[in-house]
Amino acid sequence: MKHSHTLSRQCLPRAMLALTLMAGAGGAHAQLRLPSINLPLPQRLGPLDADRLGAGIERLPAIDELRKLRLAEVGELLRRHRDVLEADPRGAPVVRRELLAWSPSTAGLAAARAAGLAIAREEGFDGALRLVVLRVPDDADTAATLARLRALDPDGVYDFNHLYTGSGSGALPAAAAAAATGAGVTAPAGAAPAGAPKVGLVDSGIDVGHVVFRDAAIARWGCAGVAHPSAHGTAVAALMVGKSARFQGGAPGAALYAADIYCDGATGGSADKIVGALAWLAREHVAVINLSLVGPPNATLERVVGAMVRGGYLLVAAVGNDGPAAPPLYPASYPGVVGVSAVDRQGRALPEAARGPQVMFAAPGNNMLSAAPGAPPFQPVRGTSFAAPLVAALLAGKLAQPDQAKAAAALAALARQAGDGASVSNATGYGIVGAALRVDPAGFRQ
């Protein structure tokens, strides 16, 4: 077991639980982080037939083939959007000519100006903390400028503006639509009962007109208030708060605070948009937040995540679908984040699901349905993206406000529910939770 040395990462008392989030990020930093994709499933099945659905899943491509596909998708994305995207030295997509600075000092900003950088925009975070987006001159190389800036200010925290994926079909955004940069918050789409728990979502847009959200209270952020419904965001949100005559998510009475960081744009899912969404959720005191997205390590995003974990938030993240031998993906592999893997109907870890000490829990992620825009209104889903929201929903009712001690207690209680609290595996962490929340295709009719 690799988990006995991870106690301090979750700030839990030793007598309660030794949580399991050692993120093995050292040597892996030199490796390319491929975007995680949700595996292909039969589409437009009409009245669902469980046998046909199962047959389609069994013909999934090999993990090695999926990695090749992702490499090709990265290359195609960079070719299609070379005006706004480029690759970092490891090949990961980043926003072209943008660098991120975490709470830079006066000397750090002076160093940035000396390197020819200008401030493009800022995002305040929890008092004096802030994220500053720096613009690289058109005649300068982004990677070389980052290296120079780090040399000028070795105490500062600087990085690329990396892209994180998980929206739409699970692949990188293919549309070239212009992304709205402004943040807009709409009024909740319904009134939550007094004292109802809150739960946060950082993902793509939601089809709030879907039947499962008819009675849901949903506050939205991002895209200057313009709705961009997507299949991924709709499915994940439904697994959290959706409810209809034949479908129920994990926390149907909770108020959902949903941030769309994609907005159908080529630069959607960038690190600065994730930080903006987390800052909004922090202002709203949403203590449990789901992030079904993955990407490379990023120094500035790591600081934001660390600040929230220390502040008593529970960040729940999918560990990714790049296979058991893949290097760790983020934010699930950051210290203190609740990493979630996925299992099938028999409780077996999905073959494409990541393995490692970043896995704290597993939940259903196959042989299940969730809401979908359009017709039919329910579609099969598969992958760790759809297991994480079930865990977030289970935690939502246990943490009303950010609080470090109560967050630790909530995790300890869920770990006891998952198993005996003693055995931990790299495949399912402390065990499987939320098995009863699976909406099985067998017997389900549209």
Catalytic site residue from 88, 153, 159, 203: 203
- Taken in order 168, 170, 173, 179, the sign of the CA dihedral is positive
Q: Is 363 exposed, middle or buried (0-12, 13-18, 19+ CB in 10 A)?
A: buried
Burial 280-317 (b: 16+ CB within 10 A, else e): bbbeeebbbbbbbbbbbbbbbbbbbbebbbeebbbbbb
Report the helix count and the strand count for the chain, using DSSP H and E. Answer: 10, 15
Nearest C-alpha neighbor of 275 from the set 222, 232, 234: 222
d(CA 176, CA 266): 5
Count the Cβ atoms, other than its own, within 10 Å of residue 28: 16
**Torsion, Cα of 381, 385, 391, 395 (10° steps):** -130
Catalytic site residue from 232, 264, 272, 333: 232
Inter-axis angle of helices 142-152 and 106-114, nearest 10: 140
Count the Cβ atoms, other than its own, within 10 Å of residue 325: 11
Burial 237-272 (b: 16+ CB within 10 A, else e): bbbbbbbbeebbbbbbbbbbbbbbbbbbbbbbbbbb
Placement of tokens 């977030």 in the chain: 392
Q: Give the 3-state secondary structure of residue 8.
A: helix
Placement of tokens 């600040």 in the chain: 307
Is 232 a residue of the active site? yes
Catalytic site residue from 36, 167, 292, 385: 385
Q: Give the 3-state secondary structure of residue 367.
A: coil
**Torsion, Cα of 144, 86, 278, 224 (10° steps):** 130
Structure token digits, residue 260: 């769309």
Contact 11, 314 (CB under 8 A): no
Nearest C-alpha neighbor of 213 from the set 168, 254, 169, 259: 254
Is 385 a residue of the active site? yes
d(CA 149, CA 155): 10
CA distance from start to end of the chain: 45
Catalytic residues: 203, 232, 385
